Structure 1
Amino acid sequence: MRIRTQFIVAMIMSGLVLLIVAVSVLWTIQQIGRLNMQEEIAISIERGASELSYLSNDYLLFREDQQRTRWETKWSSISRDLAQLKPSSPEQQIIADNIKANHLRLKAVFDNVASASHDTTRTPAAESVQSFTQVSWSRMAVQNQGIAFDALQLSQIIRDRKDQVRHTNNQLMFILLGAFSAYFITNYLIVQRRLLSSIADLQAGTKVIGSGNLDFALEVKRDDEIGELSHAFNQMTADLKGVTASKSELEVEIAEREAAQQALHAEQERLSVTLGSIGDGVIATDVNANVVILNGVAEELTGWTQEEAEGKPLLEVFDIINETTREPAENPVDKALKTGVVVGLANHTALIAKDGTERSIADSCAPIRALDGAIIGVVLVFRDVTEQKQLENERERLHRQVEDELEISNLLLRAADTLAEPIDLNGVLESLADIVLDVTGSRRIGIYLLNKKTYELEAGAARGESILPVGSKFNFKQLAPQFQSVVYDKQSRVIDYESADVAEENRQRAESLNIKVALSVPLIYKGDVLGILALDNPGERQNVTERDIELVEGIAAQAAVAIENARLYEAERRIADTLQEALLTVPEGMNGLGYGYMYRSATEGAKVGGDFYDLFELGGGRVGITLGDVSGKGLQAATLTSVVRSTIRAYALDGHCPSKIIAKANEAVRLASGPASFVTVFFGLLDTATGKLTYCSAGHPPAILHQAAGVELLREHSPIIGAFADMSYTEEETYLQKGDSLVLYTDGVTEARRDEEFYGEERLIDFLTQAQEIPVKEIPQAIYNDIVAYSGGKLLDDIAILAISLAGEPRDRY
């Protein structure tokens, strides 16, 4: 077998082994990836089942639509995970089928529970509700546990399958590598033995031929490269033997040389024609950088003819400069001769022709080498790129123009985002000042709001060297006419306070404020001028461009909208704040009753929320207790709160029971609000003499009654008010002893979060159990402090808390 064939076979074998290893690795990665995905799905199903169990408990406790929606969302999420399961074995298929069956049965059980809990045609007894809740919880717990166990078992089976795939792949690679190693070693030993023997024979034969024995012939034993080499040696020996130095042969050699010279001359003529046909300029020099050849294009571009330029230094014929600096450019020929590599001209190179014409050029310079590699000259190729350079400059100009327009658009978008963040007027003005200085590079800005009734300008914000303190006012009509025209003409204006058009008085005032050139831009909203922003660089004649004016006008237009919205918001908030403060007012004290209360909004920007509380005396030692949560915020929520509070007070003073009062409040809310508004409320009548509490809880979190015997949740499952007409409401009774405390709260307490975990009822009960010595007046603030510590100060909803106890000497509760 030929050596080349042996090498090719070895390479093919290596390639096959590598290919099989690569395919095996890719297959293993694909299988493990698929198994990892299936394992993640199984784990997700297991976690989902645990979350469903928690949500089921939550729903069974509260029976609220919010909990039911969360449960159904999580159930749908698990359904999607189940749809993505792709069992790869009968065992996995059986477990997957079990999970799907338990999943469907869980849905059926939940739907049955949900349907029964929303049946409003009758009010079941407390014992029946508790029994139903326990049975429902047990049924759903069984299904949830079945899903979680099967999902865990499925993930373990998938994990075992991954280990099996890895083990099989490792075994296959070890077998292939072992087989390839054995083949390689065996092939190496065979080739080495054969080659060494053949090379030794060649070495001995060449020594014999080298001694002058041209009659010796090497023995050709093999039909491979070594055999071909032996045959070549024999042919060389025969050729050497036949060589003679006769006269006739010398004459033939002379004739051949003459023919070669003629061919060289013809080649030179063809080269000259070729150079004349090239579209680029070509100059060839000798090793001293003197011109040897110019083609026609080079003659035209340099203004020199072949006869004029031949033998002259290149720099005299090829005069180049830097277009930007106008300094002589580096000589590329010298660099090519020194380095022996191809050299290009620097950018922005111009050629000065003999007649002074200037052209932009691009070129390259390469050394000319003889057969022995020595450099014998340089060839310079160049072309006129003046028109191309003009096109590139125009393209760059258009590109810069597009970039400027894009930058303006981005700056306006950023300004819109910045101005949209604050909702108060001061915040808008401060943000406007910052963004204008940022995008224009100016060092001073003043923003002035116009009062059209008094024609006064009030300084709303300022940056840089202060002209007027924020909040100060001045008469608009006393300013320079150029400044007044910004308001009258509703157009921006660049005012040069050093020009002759400015009155001496105004020029002196500007000089005292270190103003030379200022840009003044009106703040216009729906055709009305709200104010003016003025910016400058103190002590400098600022160069204000059209781009600056366009940019500031765009920002000013957005700022005017934000200013008007902030004014409207502040007016509405003042009304709502006043209304809510009135609604959250309770008596400083009541006979026979101790109490504490507090309210906190979720955000400082929206202090007016829908949470409220109320305490009022009804005579005869009876007290009305109200705590509720109105959907929404702002003036609308405060107005609806007033409706609920006033309705409850009116019907309570009229002597109605809590369930009747809440029914009346339901109708009042429906008439005063839209279909999307609703209220959850707890209302109770407390007899301070007997401690009897009669209450109705309309969709509200259960109140907590902390007694000596423990904690009791006052659950009463009446519906929310305001959502539906002609609803039926019920009431319950309990008793407070001296020393007991009744704690009412809104859902902002239990739904406070840390990551994905709720504060919850259990944590609230634990806190009240441990806070044994806290006076009832301080309980609301203590609860709030614990919530803030738990959530890291991030509240998702408003919070209202009311704590009540009977006055008198408390009994030994603990």
Structure 2
Amino acid sequence: MMWTMSLDGAVTFIDPEVQALRGFSSAQAVGQTIEEMWTPSSADLVRAYLAELRVDAAAGDRQHEGLTADLEVRRADGVAVRCSVELAPFHDRDGSLVGVVGIAHDADGRRRSEELLERARRDVAQANRNLTRLLRARSAELSAARTELKQLREALIPSDVPQLDGLDVAIEYRPAEHAVAGDFYLVAGSAERSVIVLGDMQGHGIAAARDATFARAVISSVLANASGPGAILELANRLLCEAWAEDDRFLSAACLVHDPQARTITWALAGHPSPIALAEPRSLDGDHRGLPLGVLADATFATQVTSLAVGDGLLLYTDGVTEARSGETQFGEERLLDAVRAHRGAPGAAVVRAVADALDAFTGGELSDDVCLMALRPRA
């Protein structure tokens, strides 16, 4: 008879031979306690063995010894049957002790039982070898994924922000707690103009990060062929719609063009949250937020112009900020504006850091979506 039991002695599996040895069916025997399965003296021995295993496991010792002894099991008719019993610990995939496997046999069945136990040991050894190979392969996959994720994040959120003529740019990025997402920014400048793009790819996971990297590259490639932010978004949108014609992929984006001579910023939105003015904190809500990129090939994107005097500025952000949750409550635009007002006049780096810290305090540091904040202030 072969069976398994938990560390508290309850039977969790038993083979059909229990019928011949004890008069119980397998279904009747599963769930029996130590007292129901063994006579008192044998139950004490089994109970002591399980206690030793639990102590060893708690101490981190995985070299558990087996137990071989003559014990008495209870039959359904109340008769005690003396058997030669062998108990051995077994572990889960993580190597943690989870129970005991046992074999009981009479003298005539000893040889067959030994063969069964040896077969079980071989099966366990083979299972452990298979598991080791699987874990090594999985570890290699995870290592490769972590390397790719690091490379993607550096491509999407470069740690070094380019210096622009007449404009200070500050970035604050906070990754999601348990997911990979597709927030990104793009900054490109010359003496005549600077282009700033903040984007947020739909979806989560490494696939979204790859798509965001592609979208960022597409937007970067059209900068030389389009002057205003609306034209930049329209050209990039046509290319993305063509590339994603067979897929349901899209992203939101804010595109801004800074003219250092005129001290103006011209901006257009593709389904993206509106910028926030920093001098008198408020959302610059326009009538035309536009469609996300990748949805409609002939979509157009309206532009708006904002003057930037010294002390002015804009805050851009991805929707992970306002949609962050604490329980059922969203962070929302009003909390965002409160955080900005509390740091009115502060350098851009202090503003984005303060907003991110307020968000951490609200969520307990557990973000379900990436967060990217960008502050733009004219240089004196």
TM-score normalized by structure 1? Answer: 0.33
Equivalent in 204, 222, 228 of residue 633 of structure 1: 204
Q: Give 2:309's aligned residue.
A: 737
The aligned counterpart of 2:77 is none
1:741/1:805 contact within 8 Å kept: yes
Aligned counterpart in structure 2 of residue 788 of structure 1, from 335, 360, 371: 360
- Tell me how far 1:621 sits from its aligned partner: 3.9
Q: Matches of 1:392 and 1:638 in 2, distance apart?
A: 61
Q: Does residue 579 of structure 1 match 2:148?
A: no
Q: How far off is 1:659 after superposition? A: 1.4
Give the 3-state SS of the residue equivalent to 2:238 in structure 1.
Answer: helix
Distance in 2, matches of 1:656 and 1:573, equals 38
Structure 2 Cα separation of the partners of residues 534 and 750 of structure 1: 43
- TM-score (normalised: structure 2): 0.67
1:675 to 225, 244, 247: 247
Partner in structure 1 of residue 237 of structure 2: 666
Q: Work out whether 1:394 is the aligned partner of 2:35.
A: no
Alpha-carbon distance in structure 1 between the residues aligned to 2:283 and 2:342: 15
> What amino acid sits opposite 1:806 in the alignment?
P
Task: List per-residue Cα deviations over 1:551-608 (Å, max 9, x = no partner).
Answer: 78768767765653443233123113212212311435333221211111121x43x4
Question: Is the Cα–Cα contact under 8 Å of residues 643 and 669 in structure 1 kept in the other structure?
Answer: no
For residue 194 of structure 2, what is the aligned residue in structure 1?
623
Residues 670/519 of structure 1: CA separation in 2 closer, same or farther (3 Å cut) = farther
Q: Which amino acid aligns with 1:667?
A: R
Which structure 2 segments of 5+ residues have no match? 1-18, 33-49, 67-87, 104-116
Structure 1 residue corresponding to 2:172, chosen from 581, 588, 598: 598
Q: 1: distance between equivalents of 2:284 and 2:129?
A: 57
Shift, 1:688, TM fit:
2.1
Judging changes above 3 Å, is the alpha-carbon distance between structure 1 residues 629 and 394 closer, same or farther for their aligned structure 2 residues? same
Match of 2:141 in 1: 568
CA contact (8 A) 2:250 2:293 kept: yes
Alignment partners' CA distance in 2, 1:568 and 1:637: 18
**Matched residue type, 1:583:** L
Q: Whose helix proportion is higher, 1 or 2?
A: 1
- Output aligned runs, 1:273-672, within 5 Å: 393-395=22-24, 399-400=28-29, 402-403=30-31, 443=56, 463-464=60-61, 546=117, 549=121, 561=134, 564-585=137-158, 586-603=160-177, 605-606=178-179, 608-617=180-189, 619-672=190-243
On the 8 A contact 1:738/1:806 being kept in 2, the answer is yes
Within-5 A mapping of 1:116-155: none
* Paired letter, 2:342: Q
The 3 A distance-change label for structure 1 pair 655 and 555 is same
Indicate the SS of the match to 1:613. strand
CA offset at residue 794 of structure 1? 2.6
Contact 2:252 2:272 in 1 (8 A): yes
Shift of 1:650: 2.4
Residues 647 and 664 of structure 1 are in contact (CA less than 8 Å); yes or no, is this contact kept in structure 2? Answer: no
C-alpha contact 1:598 1:800 (8 A) present in aligned 2:
yes
CA distance 1:655–1:678, shift in 2 (3 Å): closer
Q: CA deviation at 1:773?
A: 4.4
**CA displacement 1:334-354 (0-9 Å, x = unmatched):** xxxxxxxxxxxxxxxxxxxxx
- Is the 1:587–1:616 Cα contact (8 Å) retained in structure 2? no
Give the Cα–Cα distance (whole angstroms) in 2 for the partners of residues 615 and 571 of structure 1: 29
Q: Distance in 1 between matches of 2:120 and 2:136?
A: 22
Contact 2:321–2:359, Cα closer than 8 Å, also in 1: yes
2:258 to 679, 686, 700: 686
Deviations 1:389-435 (A, max 9, x none): x99941167633x459xxxxxxxxxxxxxxxxxxxxxxxxxxxxxxx
Q: Work out whether residues 594 and 777 of structure 1, in 8 Å CA contact, stay in contact via their aligned partners in 2.
A: no
2:278–2:345: 8 Å Cα contact kept in structure 1? no
Asked if the contact 2:226–2:232 (Cα under 8 Å) also holds between the matched residues in 1, the reply is no
Contact 2:234 2:300 in 1 (8 A): yes
Unaligned runs of 5+ residues in structure 1 are 1-389, 405-436, 445-461, 467-493, 496-517, 524-531, 536-541, 809-814
**SS of residue paired to 2:311:** coil
How far, CA to CA, are the matches of 2:27 and 2:90 in structure 1? Answer: 30
Superposition deviation, residue 443 in structure 1: 4.3
Q: 1:668: how far off?
A: 2.7
- 1:189-213, CA deviations, whole angstroms, 9 ceiling, x for partnerless residues? xxxxxxxxxxxxxxxxxxxxxxxxx
Q: Is the 8 A contact 2:267 2:305 kept in 1?
A: yes
* 1:136-175 equivalent positions in 2, closer than 5 A: none
Given that 2:90 and 2:101 are in contact with CA atoms closer than 8 Å, whether structure 1 keeps it comes out as: no
**1 CA distance for matches of 2:303 and 2:345?**
31
Structure 2 CA distance, aligned partners of 1:655 and 1:393? 86
Contact 2:311/2:345, CA 8 A, preserved across alignment: no
Shift of 1:627: 0.6
Residue 635 of structure 1: how far off its partner (Å): 3.4
